[in-house]
Amino acid sequence: MHDPAITPELVAKHNLTPDEYQKILEILGREPSYPELGIFSVMWSEHCSYKNTRPVLKTFPTKGEKILVGAGEENAGIIDVGDGVAIAFKIESHNHPSAVEPFQGAATGVGGIIRDIFTMGARPVAALNSLRFGELSNPEVRRLFSGVVGGIAHYGNCFGIPTVAGEVYFDKSYEGNPLVNAFALGVLRHDQITRGAARGVGNPVFYVGPATGRDGLAGAAFASQDLTEESAEQQRGAVQVGDPFMEKLVCEACLELLATGCVAGMQDMGAAGLTCSTCETAARAGTGIEIELDKVPQRAPNMSSYEIMLSESQERMLIVVHKGREAEVKAVFDKWDLPWAEIGVVTDTGRMVVRHGGKVVVDVPAKKLADDAPVYQREAREAAYMAGVRAFRLDGIADTRDPMGHLATLLADHTIASKNWVYGQYDHMVRDGSVVCPGSDAAVIRIKADSLPVTKAEYAALKAGTADPYAPPAPLADKYVAFTVDCNGGYVYLDPYEGGKAAVTEACRNLACSGAIPVGSTDNLNFGNPHNPEIFWQLKESVRGLADGCRAFGAPVTGGNVSLYNQRGALGAIDPTPTVAVVGIIEKPEHITTQWFKDAGDAILLLGAPVDLADPLQGLGGSAYLKRVHGQKNGLPPRVDLAAAQTLHTTLLGLIREGVVKSAHDGSEGGLAVTLAESCFSRQVARESHRFLGATIDLAACAPEGARLDALLFGETQNRVVISVAAIDAGRVVKQARAMGVPAVQIGTVGGDDLVLKTPAGEFSAPVAGLHDRWWNAIARAMA
């Protein structure tokens, strides 16, 4: 095989501009080889270099006293959770591969984020996902939805990691370009943190994992261009194929290898495969690296240098080993029956040198590839549609005359409806650390002693035969970690800044409702083409909102992912979707709180304002009600007062710690009526009759004068939580909340078979069982 000549057409095909190619010529002092052109293409793609977004990303708050590994340093952020224990977590996207081949695209997205965790030295213990699709009335959307969920379930279940939380939104804007964002969290001790750096001149470089094939070629570059029918067809056969059982072996082998003390640095082969792992590890250490492609295990015959370097075959790791300890490394890999090869060495040249067939095919300064990609200041211009959004009013929008009918409609909306069809396919109990499973405001897991990787001392004792391999691990005070993921893309479309703030605030409110204090966040910025000034304005404004929210709640950003070019032909760009996952700590197990009502006779309290009359749309702008009932995605969404939100969260956490709160559920999509309904039936009462707990709600006394009935029931005014307490505690809790500056009122009582809503416009009711049926079975019926 002969490499093609480097022509302007070939350069353009690699998504490199003439100016970027000129910069490559200046760096090399010559024309690049074909493999070098491909390497620059992937490393300077948006997916790997963030060349369009790096200036914006620098505005995130990234510092904090608990941060051990911060944003941009490594594959995942790491936060201290006390007693020498830490958590590693990150979220990433696999949008374009999932659009092309949903099952494997989603599966390998899960595999990739798991590798980002154990390459840091952490044992992966939990996962969540954030998904976006078009409307399920479309057969193609149903195919994509089914494939993605199946792929996530396959990889997570087979690997043995519980998928314990997530979200799914459905909107026409995602019809041509679904979003698949995967998150994973792992645990480790402070002294087990592993760096992805090629340290130690003369240290050998090992490849471990399955052989390299032609799958996923230039996947990073594919993710950094608009999705078209042509590009999708070109990539369809090249989407990576995952093997979760192989990944489990690789994970266990790598964690054992780290316990030997043989490892000087470790990096997974994710986006850009062997290219990214070699140049990034060398750049981080300020060293060079030299590898021999003839030694790389290859799955296909006659693979070219270009193909080997750019392949994104899965479950592969690059490991730098302390010289002289090669035999120990080989023994561990052989024990786990893993393919391995010693393929290179760390040098002092600062260059990434690649040999193949006796020739040097790549010779590039590593830092120029990894750290010196061009950075652009893109033009940002407010979207033209915003004038219409600001001008929108409720004139001509009739108030509801059928509250219970509209409530049933909202509960059956696929975005609001129960996601049991999704999480029922996931194993959320494996490893026995799940405390709060899918179905509440946030997931909660318990970090147990056996969750942590084996220490060097423990491993040495086992090898020496001085420790009992069946003895329980050393005692560790259980730690409880809560996490959730949020983003209302419709809000962000209608007001990017407020939508960004709302995403962080809702995530932190979900944690507060679960009894947790936020400690860190990770985000996935999903947007269209950044060359469009209106889309780049959406991105800048939403990041400003996210950043303000993260600062307000003490949840610094520890890392994440940017996924641009999420648009497809005439279907246009997706709604801007800056997904944010926030992780929190619960101090004591008795503070863990769930969203469903617990006992008949309990008092139901509303913390927060029933309706914000300062908002001309009374919380209906961008609401699920306006969209689902009136077919309108319009109007400024409700504003987020960050100071008021902080006060609400602090007050709620104080009440939870006092032990008076039995349930807490945040108000979001669908408004107060949906929040109350979900509190009735998120979980069936453990009774022989399997009845649900109903509620009688009286809003007549607390409804402000001038409030619309639909705004009272379905408006999405921010900073609201519904809690239940024992009747005897209700008066005291209301007084305490008000003393803290939080609006509070008792609005009802738990009990009965119906949800009864007493309003200024009359009394309305419906059987809880019927509402539950609409909510629980909506997605299953659509997928039947």
Active-site annotation, residues? 47, 94
For residue 776, the 8-state DSSP code is: H
Determine the Cα–Cα distance for residues 147 and 132; give it in Å rounded to an integer: 13
Alpha carbon 376 to chain centroid, angstroms: 26
Q: Are strands 557-563 and 479-486 parallel, antiparallel or unpaired?
A: unpaired
Q: What is the DSSP string of 564-586?
A: ---B-GGG-BPPPEEEEEEEEEE
Determine the straight-line distance between the first and last CA of the chain, rounded to whole angstroms.
50
Which of 323, 344, 277, 346 minimizes the C-alpha distance to 112?
277
Which of 550, 422, 397 minimizes the C-alpha distance to 486?
550
Q: Which residues pair with 754 in a beta bridge?
A: 767
Q: How many helices (H) and strands (E) does the chain have?
A: 28, 26
Question: CA of 569: how far to CAs of 176, 230, 561, in Å?
Answer: 8, 11, 24
Determine the Cα–Cα distance for residues 179 and 171; give it in Å rounded to an integer: 11
Determine the Cα–Cα distance for residues 647 and 508; give it in Å rounded to an integer: 12
Helix axes 34-43, 273-285, angle to 10 degrees: 70
Which of 242, 237, 243, 213 minimizes the C-alpha distance to 101?
237
Contact (Cβ atoms closer than 8 angstroms) between residue 743 and residue 609: yes
Return the HEC string of 632-686. CCCCCCCCCCHHHHHHHHHHHHHHHHHCCEEEEEECCCCHHHHHHHHHHHCCCCC
Determine the Cα–Cα distance for residues 706 and 708; give it in Å rounded to an integer: 6
Cβ-proximal residues to 393 (8 Å cutoff; 6+ apart), any chain: 616, 617, 635
- Residue 762 tokens, joined: 């009359």
Question: CA of 501: how far to CAs of 169, 316, 488, 507, 643, in Å?
Answer: 18, 38, 10, 10, 12
Contact (Cβ atoms closer than 8 angstroms) between residue 57 and residue 50: yes
Determine the Cα–Cα distance for residues 134 and 138; give it in Å rounded to an integer: 8
Which of 42, 488, 478, 89 minimizes the C-alpha distance to 270?
42
Determine the Cα–Cα distance for residues 684 and 672; give it in Å rounded to an integer: 20
Which of 722, 637, 628, 706 minimizes the C-alpha distance to 672?
722
Determine the Cα–Cα distance for residues 273 and 309; give it in Å rounded to an integer: 7
Cβ-proximal residues to 66 (8 Å cutoff; 6+ apart), any chain: 79, 80, 81, 519, 520
Burial 57-76 (b: 16+ CB within 10 A, else e): beebbbebebbbbbbbbbbb
CA dihedral 268, 272, 276, 277 (to 10 degrees): 20
Contact (Cβ atoms closer than 8 angstroms) between residue 218 and residue 310: yes
